Structure 1
């Protein structure tokens, strides 16, 4: 017996909700492969000028080395609401590729945008071992609540 696919193709409402979750995310769970095994950590986020998620990570963090070795990663965003079952609140899982900012102009632009959302990062943003990383979506899975599961493409997510 064939299993029914629970994911529906994205519609305009699902795309808007996914972009909203990215735009509002201050933190997320980042999953990488480290030494061949899954490794998940919480990271701070801000949307870049293009609306895609940006993080600031240190060379001291194990996930930084993992992303340099294999830039494919996954990011979960979406916070539970103040009431009800946390699993009924919208959340978005992105399959993404980490792209480290390498030029001074890009770093400068990301710095300003990032600090608007994460002002406490002013304490360390200019340390030499910190790097801005854009998490460019390849695809996504949106769970908008009970019975609201959508499969998203990079284009649906604005990538």
Structure 2
């Protein structure tokens, strides 16, 4: 019987996952093309006022168009540091689905104000008609906290479930 590389998820792993989520300004987004092939894109990443992951995307982008027919997503957050082997730095994979939100109304205005605090350069295009917020509904994740520190993460581990 092979040994599992996964450690039991503990408060230290949860704290590291939360820190990676709070610190992330960019992520790698994987979607599925119409032909079923995985496609990755680098996107801006943030948390909304309730601490849930979001991005601001153009409906003209290939990844946004792919989400219209196949909403399954996978995100990777966590950047390598300036020193050392990039594979020893922590990173977090998130799995779930994406939801394109309307770009009008009070809810959009509140999200925009919150988002611009962490992504001020988005002010240049946040009002364009083809830009919408994308909400990520995360079901689970995988934390690689560095060499020998792998954890399966539940939705409850990653986000405060109310």
Q: TM-score range by the shorter chain?
A: over 0.9
2:156 matched to which residue of 1? 155
The alignment yields a C-alpha RMSD, in angstroms, of 1.2
CA-CA distance at 1:96 after TM superposition? 2.0
Q: What are the ranges of 5 or more consecutive residues in structure 1 without an aligned counterpart?
A: none
Q: Give runs of ≥4 in structure 1 deviating > 3 Å.
A: none
SS in 1 for 2:12: helix
Q: Which digits, 9 at most, give the CA deviation of each residue in 1:103-134, with x for residues without a partner?
A: 62221121111111111111110111110011
SS at structure 2 position matched to 1:9 = coil
Structure 2 unaligned residues grouped into runs of 5+: none
Residue in structure 2 matched with residue 44 of structure 1 by the alignment? 44
Q: CA deviation at 1:8?
A: 2.2
State how far apart, in whole Å, the 2-side matches of 1:67 and 1:16 are.
30
Deviation larger for 4-13 or 25-34: 4-13
> 1:26 and 2:57 equivalent?
no
Taking the TM superposition and a 5 Å limit, the aligned residue runs for 1:1-159 are 2-35=1-34, 36-102=36-102, 104-158=105-159
Once the two structures are TM-superposed, the CA of residue 20 in structure 1 deviates from its matched residue by 0.9
CA contact (8 A) 1:30 1:74 kept: yes
| Matches of 1:109 and 1:65, distance apart in 2 | 25
Q: What secondary structure does 1:16 align onto?
A: helix
108-117 or 36-45: which moved more? 108-117
